[in-house]
Structure 1
Amino acid sequence: MNLIAKLAPTERPKKTFNHADREQGKYNFADPTEVSVQFRFWLRPDAPKELSRSFLLPPDKDTVSDGTALEMAMELKAIYDGYFFTTNKPKIAALVAYLEEMEIQDQRDLEKYNLQLAYFTAAEQLEKARKITLNTLNAFKLEMPFLDVVRIHLTEYPEDDKAELDIIGLADQVREGVSFINVDIATLGFHDDELVLNERGNLVLKKAGEQ
């Protein structure tokens, strides 16, 4: 088992820290045609129950940038503070105060989440590359019987989110990388001919000059 597989969690990590998102939709039951922007704050399970977790703004008032829950709440508070009167003023003030108290812990948990997600994603992509590698072995034998494949090695580059397949033949050494990550059609050069990875994931031989 490689290092990434050892470090990667078995399941996609979940956000256990305070975070927020927004969604535009129709949330006014009195006027079902009215469009608003809803800001949803997903708080920790132990957060005070009395804290408001949802706020609405007209689309033309939405100047809030994407960011942490605290950053979005502070920008939302600045907008509400500009209103002459709104019941959301004390609610957003209480939410900002709570998020300020949790800022350091949220930052630590966010960094931990990002690291776990990076390992999980890298391990997931490498596993997909391995499966594609296994599926193409028969294509090598069928399309290129003259190529005696003695070793197939998957080289991992997690920092670049790439995986390359190195093929070493007895008569000639071929080291042209085939990236299976985020590539639909990949090619591997062999002298003047090309091995083409088709849409079904099979390697086929294309003669030089063929379209």
Structure 2
Amino acid sequence: MSNVLIVEDHRTLRSSLEQGLREEGHTIFAVSSATEGLLLTRTEPLDAIILDLQLTDGDGLTLLREIRKSGRATPVLIVSARDSVEDRILGLDTGADDYLVKPFAFGELLARLRSLLRRGAVASEAVLRHDDLQIDLMTRKVTRQGEEISLTRRLLELLEYLLRHKNQVVTREMLARDVWKASTATWTNVIEVQIRELRIKIERPGWSRILHTIRGEGYRLGDPP
């Protein structure tokens, strides 16, 4: 069904949640530390995160800030014994989508998780992303590592096309036909210039390479070939 990350330092509760959610058909990643959790947010296609605030190597809010800073909009459900109104407000203002106070009934957690997954499914239709790069198709806003990137209309159309074909080789013929609505012979040089300009925008110094030139074939936005 869905990929769910559990970041919970209490071994018994973590195991119980993992077993219960697996029985519901979800694929579960369960860890006890913020470090492990952050790594999984970067390497796995997660649909939701269940996050404790008291972790083995720090505070869950720090992890939540890192997740949101990277531009990831994965729904997050905080589960915590911190039950004051101030704690709940802080968690939600930091970027959580919901907050459940311990102890809780497993049925209530399931209901809240289903709600988050429904919201996430709707939101994902309006957002295209690869790793820490994303386009919000409603606002036409492009961000990477949480930083907004300003693009011309044509570069935005080009990036959207590449993201819709993520991890696939896109030929110049495809770009000419589908983005420029023209013949390849006329637009080859223009395409190369626009690809170069887009690469400058989305691969700033210190950012990883995500737009690859495949010699003799075309271009590929995604993981290293």
TM-score, normalised via structure 2 length: 0.27
Between Structure 1 and Structure 2, the one with more helix by share is 2
Q: Larger Rg: 1 or 2? A: 1
